[in-house]
Structure 1
């Protein structure tokens, strides 16, 4: 993690770094601490963009206008800025907007810099980048790639330098980034908690020492900090002189081809990272170990992998690529440079029985007939609409059609500001004059998507004929589709005498896969309990937000034998199924019972639920799409 951050400081053109990992692993702390390692920079005094006086080709319009007037640019020395992007930031706040105060006083339309301006020549840090709206992530990545922020809004046309190191952190359990966005981050690091007991104790000791005496703690480590700071400064000086030979370029291309990465961005990033690694080591020639380490940082988030496959790079495959590259060179007598032994990767070790799942099969996309009680704009990709209520995040403004229901006060001020000089008279004093033509209405969006709730039978009867193995394969196949559509998913499991919500509704399909893999099978079949808990879970979500589209997927053999209230277990299950239909919850029922011993219970429950019925063996791409379309 530290190496990836430092490489981006040495060569910001690498394209930033994404830190992925479980909570509590000091991802955010590392980014904030990075600022202490960076050497101070010279900047134009009073410039909101921290322009470099030694690079006139990158000066902003304000600095250029000063030079045009014959003014001398004063220089100040300052720390490299580290700017954090709030999750709730609007696009106006990020890119900049109209300077309202100046517009009111003078009637002039001038640019008010945003977060991108403050981050120029520094670090832009986004905590929980996977929770940021996709359009903002796109905007940030585009700007980082171009190095310039172009603003066209509210009668303003403005551009300014925006060279920054983009650092994002995320916890995959809270949802993934789209592959297209992942590819735009130069490097990626998987951060895990320390497993060595002695090292964990040292983490605790240092944290306690810092809390008790922050100044003393910082002073204790200042010497090592200075050594590292000087090493980074020296690497930045060496970087322009580092050479990457044709053989190393062959190796980069070979590795990218062997790992099947899409496009050419991976090759380019590996090239830049290898140069920075050599410079950091004080060398002017890229070696094999630089390319290998660059691959370990640049490829994990780009290599082709199946959904739910753990991130990371196959060290054996990487070594095979290196061996294939070395063979012709060894024959020519070139030999290999600085061989490195592969480190053994830790292996994972593993009454009730836990069944593995059948391999997932391709499922045709769900076609949800979304009932639009309210227009909404969702992050799930099955339904897209804009929030028409006053709930949701304020993302923009529009000219209202008819009565204004949700006034966008800031946008109204911006619309009225340029005309104040001409509108004011003595009777107005200092008051703003706003007409109906200035009024703007808020545009809101809600970060919600479709909710798919699995209600899964894990009772002992599911162990027969390996039904649970096939059922897990079916759920995994459906999760593939949910993963691609970014819907929310939850899981209720019933077995023994009760049902449990093992996975509350979440955006992390990966969490659902993990729970599924570890799910044991055994005990009786409390089917009514499972349906009841599924209904209660969806009703709870609907109370929070009526705009979601819930969908219940029941997977069972129907052999209910545990009562809710002392009645017939099957009849109780049918009663709950009728309530699910009355609430208006759409459903799919997958029958795992073998045809030749079928009791027909599942089909009857499905009829009461008003859902669509499928046998487990029919759950293939052609069947599932038709089943979902027929629902509702």
Structure 2
């Protein structure tokens, strides 16, 4: 038996069967008392949310619903309330896979072997919650460790997908779930089955469920590939009407004070909704859709520039469900218009701009037909108009440049040194336009870390994340059963069976799992706030870049800190914190003016990073330095630029820290390139502000311009 245990996939997909036999492949499922659930009919507003849930209850082929919106808008309440009014389902008593007793061909091996001895039972539809820290084994199922050791049998321990079959799988904050778990869930939802090929197990069981995911868009979006897999998408907001908000409070107070009495008062309305669902399920197979309506659906998809054909298929199924709910014999245009916004809102793409038209052909030289009196009468006024236009485009010259902002040995031309405020005067610049930044992450290494987030992939010292390999190191108690059994298999004959177990393990056989997941980083922003940054809106653009990075840090669950340097010193504006909102407020109020003490900014940056590494040596800080590299204040007698480069070279030797330099110097005929030299000394990644934009790389590939 042990010789057959291996870690390779067999590649076979045997539907509704498994390659191993167990004493009880269907562990008994204990029924727990059902708590009181807020009635579906009592939910105020949220018409789109309730409609999308009803449509999926009538026609699960729609593919579930993604609910995006604010906290406290009855998202989870509506899902649980729907499950409470759905008709009971017939299942094989004690089966973990909710097999249907009237469909023997679709049952698991154990239920098929029972034959006529199958006992049918009724139970309510389940709502299975998928927690954010769920492992792959917990979701899809894995080998039963206890049974393997005691009886020598490879038995499957069912996962959450098995429990959710013929029920509702509810994923709160789906955008924060690990991507590989989201892939597994969406693949099962689309195919209707869960295929397990791991640890010598080849098993497939039905996994047809209503997938409901919730998310807050402020915390980051799903990848477009994953977003498209949800059939419908609805936006939820709080009630605007004061009367509705008062009614909501009164109903909630009545439910909390006496749940049984409140549910009894809403029982008839709930039963009416349940009857609509049951009638809609019966009507669904008889609803027709004419060909011209399918053409209309295709036109809607084309007009909204959706990718692929899933939008067309989902819109068709949703329109059929609407007609079935309304007991209509066939689909109408109104039915399609009801569901089109829910199908297209998360798939709609912006139209690509059309290519510019070709230039018109040059006019033919036919002067004989021209009237001399129609010639341009104002050539003599062309020069005054051009001078007036030039005067309007030039910046005002009311403020004299600050000589303290000019570096030693630098003699910029007037074109490169726009007017600055008077010496000692500070200015506050608004935050420029934000944008989506391209991915920034720290490289992988072999250190084990703890934490959560979505930035950098690392090995984790906890039972979370994806199992990637096994090791001999035993620290966390996360046993790798497959690797342990493979290590023990060659010695079973020599060890004998003295302990009453089928497999005798030795201490040297134990292997632990190595898991990987994404965690957040510490992002330290070092911002040049000298007077030279105020020229030509450079500080507004720099603040826009910093705010874009802060928004990205919020979505990736990073800690952030902020340092600014100007005049003769560097200041810690924000110590390490998770409050991105506070960082944004301090950024908006950051003053600009004075000289450029780049060396002081680098020294303060080194100090902050050192403190973080002392508290957590396994952390991986990312330092983002926003500057043009022009330094004119030094600590000692050395030239400011040379001193800053020397400090940067020393900082760049620490491999635990990743540096990023964002160059704010504008392109022109004369550029100093000091920020690039600084990035080279720091061994840092180098960007211009526009290079940080995620779309810039796409446009380069497409041959387009920003």
TM-score by length of 1: 0.72
User: Is 1:471 the equivalent of 2:519?
Assistant: no
1:587 corresponds to: 660
* Residues 56, 210 of structure 2: 8 Å contact kept: yes
Q: CA deviation at 1:78?
A: 0.9
CA-to-aligned-CA distance 1:1-49 (integer Å, 9 cap, x gap): 2221221111111111112223333322222222112111111222221
2:481 corresponds to: 411
CA-to-aligned-CA distance 1:584-630 (integer Å, 9 cap, x gap): 451304235798999999899879977577776898999999xxxxx
1:37 corresponds to: 85
Secondary structure in structure 2 of the residue aligned to 1:273: helix
1:265 corresponds to: 310
* Residues 453, 505 of structure 1: 8 Å contact kept: no
**Residues 113, 495 of structure 1: alpha-carbon distance in 2 compared, 3 angstrom cutoff:** same
* Residues 581, 608 of structure 1: 8 Å contact kept: yes
* Residues 534, 592 of structure 2: 8 Å contact kept: no
**Residues 441, 234 of structure 1: alpha-carbon distance in 2 compared, 3 angstrom cutoff:** same
2:242 corresponds to: 197
CA-to-aligned-CA distance 1:347-405 (integer Å, 9 cap, x gap): xxxx9664542888x97x77x78484737899999965x52x735626437554x6655
2:433 corresponds to: 357
User: What is the 5 A alignment of 1:387-426?
Assistant: 387=459, 390-391=461-462, 393=464, 395-396=466-467, 398=469, 400=471, 404=474, 407-409=477-479, 411=481, 415=485
**Residues 199, 454 of structure 1: alpha-carbon distance in 2 compared, 3 angstrom cutoff:** farther
Aligned pair count reads 562
* Residues 393, 446 of structure 1: 8 Å contact kept: yes
- Indicate the larger mover: 416-425 or 188-197: 416-425
Q: Which stretches in structure 2 are left out of the alignment for 5+ residues?
A: 1-48, 352-426, 634-639, 699-706
Q: CA deviation at 1:249?
A: 1.1
User: Is 1:444 the equivalent of 2:515?
Assistant: yes
Provide the C-alpha distance between the structure 1 equivalents of 2:247 and 2:467, rounded to a whole number of angstroms.
48
* Residues 453, 490 of structure 1: 8 Å contact kept: yes
1:60 corresponds to: 108
User: What is the 5 A alignment of 1:134-149?
Assistant: 134-149=179-194
User: What is the 5 A alignment of 1:524-543?
Assistant: 542=613
1:328 corresponds to: none
Q: Which stretches in structure 1 are left out of the alignment for 5+ residues?
A: 307-350, 563-568, 626-632
Q: CA deviation at 1:53?
A: 2.3
User: Is 1:552 the equivalent of 2:610?
Assistant: no
Q: CA deviation at 1:272?
A: 0.8
Q: Whose helix fraction is larger, Structure 1's or Structure 2's? A: 1
1:48 corresponds to: 96
1:290 corresponds to: 335
Provide the C-alpha distance between the structure 2 equivalents of 1:164 and 1:210, rounded to a whole number of angstroms.
29
1:310 corresponds to: none
TM-score by length of 2: 0.65
* Residues 456, 518 of structure 2: 8 Å contact kept: no
2:26 corresponds to: none
Provide the C-alpha distance between the structure 2 equivalents of 1:355 and 1:572, rounded to a whole number of angstroms.
31
Provide the C-alpha distance between the structure 1 equivalents of 2:691 and 2:187, rounded to a whole number of angstroms.
45
* Residues 18, 167 of structure 1: 8 Å contact kept: yes
**Residues 62, 504 of structure 1: alpha-carbon distance in 2 compared, 3 angstrom cutoff:** same
* Residues 44, 74 of structure 1: 8 Å contact kept: yes
**Residues 214, 531 of structure 1: alpha-carbon distance in 2 compared, 3 angstrom cutoff:** farther
Please, which of 301, 323, 333 is the counterpart of residue 346 of structure 2?
Answer: 301
Q: CA deviation at 1:182?
A: 1.1
Provide the C-alpha distance between the structure 2 equivalents of 1:74 and 1:423, rounded to a whole number of angstroms.
46
Q: CA deviation at 1:172?
A: 2.7
Provide the C-alpha distance between the structure 2 equivalents of 1:22 and 1:302, rounded to a whole number of angstroms.
20
CA-to-aligned-CA distance 1:128-147 (integer Å, 9 cap, x gap): 22222211211111111121
1:96 corresponds to: 141
Provide the C-alpha distance between the structure 2 equivalents of 1:461 and 1:303, rounded to a whole number of angstroms.
43
**Residues 521, 376 of structure 1: alpha-carbon distance in 2 compared, 3 angstrom cutoff:** closer
CA-to-aligned-CA distance 1:395-447 (integer Å, 9 cap, x gap): 437554x6655554472798399999989978535797313675222212242
